[in-house]
Amino acid sequence: MTSPPLTTVRTAARPLESLRCDIAGPPELTQVVTEHLRLLGAEAAEAADTAETADTAETADTAETADMAGAAEAPGTATPAGTTGTEATLGTPAPGATPGTHAQVVLTGGGFGPVTAEVHWADALTTPSRDAVGPPRATPHPREAPPTPDEATVQAVTGIMSVHGRRDDGPRGLGADYAATAAGVLAVQGLLAQLLAQARGGNARAAGRVTTSAARAGLLAVSQYLAATGADEDEAARIAPGGPPFTSADGTRFELETLDPGAWAAFWRALDAPGEAIRAGWRPFQFRYATACAPFPEALHATARSHPWARVRQAAATSGAEVCALRTLEERAAEHDGAAPWSLARLGPAAAAPGRRGHELPTPDLPLTGITVLEAGRRIQAPLAAHLLRLLGADVVRIEPPGGDPLRGMPPACGGVSARWLALNRGKRAVEADIKSPSGRRRLRELVADADVFLHNWAPGKAAQLGLDAADLTAVNPGLVYAYTSGWGDRLDDAPMGTDFMVQARTAVGAAVRPADEPPAPSLMTLLDVLGGLLGAEAVLAGLLLRERNGGRGVRVDSSLLGAADTLTAPALRRAAHGADPRPPAGFRRPLRTADGWLAPTDTCAAAASAYDLSTRPTTEALDLLRSHGLTATPVTTDLAALHTGARRTGSVGRDTHGAPVVPDPWAFS
């Protein structure tokens, strides 16, 4: 008996209705694009057949091969001759490369001119970010063109393995195809932006093709960590191995969350933890989102191991902290509600879109020119969504509290401003408004009257409490796209606090990203905040296009970290639904130690490469040894600073006006 697809259409409106989509390329790069375009209303007969085959396969082996083996036609990158063993290289696909090494998507119909997206593994572009100042760093040409990479190679080169592995004291690959998933979402964003430009300004003002890559998606994912390496000061907390989850006396692995140091202390005091360990543990816990590690005193782990799970839950309930037991992929698959990663709903009567009122028209390379976005977001998810919209040309206005966003001062700083804050918020305008006061809310409504989008990630219920929910603001502006990026999307009744690591724990991301010979553990890299921000921007673009196709009628769009988790773990959940082992196999994407670094074999070569002892060989010799046996690998970037201080082929990492590193824009339009 076969299982139905895990994702079903729950959207109230479909902006790609009457368009047809043709998709070709490796499944790792096409499955997210195919599914999201289908959910948005596009017809994709050929792609739908492919997706159905993967979803309803009678044997788990077929699905597992497609999901985890990597692109068989696209072996990973080896270091080209003439570069050092410590410099990872991600090469441009060679002209006339083997078919299937990149994906191509074409949307036609519905009265639109055709638009195309290309999704590459490697960075086929050399354009820097428009936020970068000065000429880009020159990139040397290797003497031989490297093979096209796969997911493992991209994670190794862009620093994902390095950041994810900080808590383990060595690079580790994510068991899920994170870079490919993010690249798929970026491709859909590019397609929607092109169609939106056509709808707003005609074919002459729209590009015909957008190009993105898993490599650029990887750099975007580590952009905050990369920015910190170029700061003028050190990290506020030590980067060293360690971190949650904790384990109770009866074997329950769990995550702990609180934003309140008082609740943190009360929780551990209730479990009789030593006072010195409680005090020493708060700082690494507080900064774990920034550093991707949390070197707690061992006494805290020992305290957790001395109490049963029921006692741990009681301590959380009395202290105000929250705990969440790590779920298995089988448990998550059993409760999966089949919802799409976002929802769209029409609001109010038809109205003239604000973009028609004398605003600038789109340009081919900035399709959102003339669109105004009001963003009331904190931390990562909503600010990243707005950042992407700004890179597409929108004018983004941040609503900040009196005195400005306190995270502007979060260390480490670059040019007097938090480097991490700049990675998400550079180039945005800011307006201060105390939304807790009547005058501040009036000011916000005045801004909404002339805006196209209002985007926030406030706590559940806060918008309605303040009189700033969708119904309130569309009464001011009937053509508004109201966007809410949340933790859970109101889809789970027993949901804990909707933060990245708690959502990872509750949705079994911790099991999906770790191989079967390691205990499940949520990554301390902010996987879901970043992917949730990407989905938030995608949802806003879909809402803007829907508004244009429906006479200016306002739209509400909702996205969530839960939707991001389901998007990332979809292949694993399919395997679980078929009764197969959903976790990556033992040793999956585990880099190999060399005498002076690490090597990441491609997924197709990993098993064979692990048979060789490379620990006494320099990286260059280790690469030569593997090559001599027909195996490919790439050096792992272990120092993110090398991405902006050394020669790389991962795109032009530049510097902004504050001197902070800035990753290249994730798309190029032509």
What's residue 130's pLDDT? 75
Spatial distance between the Cα atoms of 474 and 547, rounded to a whole number of angstroms? 13
Least confident of 136-150, 325-339, 646-660: 136-150
Residue type, 646: G
Q: How confident is the model at residue 494 (pLDDT cuts 50, 70, 90)?
A: confident
Spatial distance between the Cα atoms of 615 and 608, rounded to a whole number of angstroms? 16
Instruction: Please tell me which residue, 92 or 134, carries the higher pLDDT value.
Output: 134
Spatial distance between the Cα atoms of 22 and 42, rounded to a whole number of angstroms? 10
Mind listing the pLDDT tens digit for each residue in 71-118? 323 323 333 322 333 333 333 333 333 435 799 999 999 999 999 999
Q: Which of 614, 522, 587 is nearest to 326 (CA)?
A: 522
Mind listing the pLDDT tens digit for each residue in 293-348? 999 999 999 999 999 999 999 999 999 999 999 999 999 999 998 899 999 999 87
Question: Is the model's pLDDT at 152 over the cut of 50?
Answer: yes
Spatial distance between the Cα atoms of 306 and 290, rounded to a whole number of angstroms? 29
What's residue 175's pLDDT? 97
SS (H, E, C) 172-220: CCCCCCHHHHHHHHHHHHHHHHHHHHHHHHCHHHCCCEEEEEHHHHHHH
Q: Which of 206, 218, 198 is nearest to 110 (CA)?
A: 198
Q: Which of 170, 131, 179, 118 is nearest to 650 (CA)?
A: 179
What's residue 204's pLDDT? 67
Which tokens belong to 82?
A: 């003439």
Mind listing the pLDDT tens digit for each residue in 504-551? 999 999 999 999 999 999 999 999 999 999 999 999 999 999 999 998
What's residue 351's pLDDT? 57
What's residue 652's pLDDT? 73
266 vs 253, 353, 587, CA distance in Å?
20, 51, 39
Question: Is the model's pLDDT at 664 over the cut of 60?
Answer: yes
What's residue 96's pLDDT? 34
Question: Is the model's pLDDT at 52 over the cut of 50?
Answer: no
Return the DSSP state at 32.
H
Question: Is the model's pLDDT at 8 over the cut of 70?
Answer: no
What's residue 126's pLDDT? 57
Q: How confident is the model at residue 147 (pLDDT cuts 50, 70, 90)?
A: low
Residues 543 and 469: beta-carbon distance below 8 Å = no
Which tokens belong to 505?
A: 């724990």
CA angle 114, 117, 119 (to 5 degrees): 165
Average pLDDT over residues 40-52: 61
Q: Mind giving me the DSSP string for 416-448? A: TEEHHHHHHHTT-EEEE--TTSHHHHHHHHHHH
Which tokens belong to 79?
A: 């270091």
Q: Which of 670, 651, 669 is nearest to 132 (CA)?
A: 651
Least confident of 326-340, 356-370, 374-388: 356-370
Average pLDDT over residues 564-579: 96
State the chain's mean pLDDT as an integer.
86
Q: Which of 524, 528, 522, 517 is nearest to 581 (CA)?
A: 517
Residues 172 and 165: beta-carbon distance below 8 Å = yes
Which tokens belong to 232?
A: 């003028």
What's residue 201's pLDDT? 85
Question: Is the model's pLDDT at 461 over the cut of 60?
Answer: yes
509 vs 120, 333, 519, CA distance in Å?
25, 12, 12
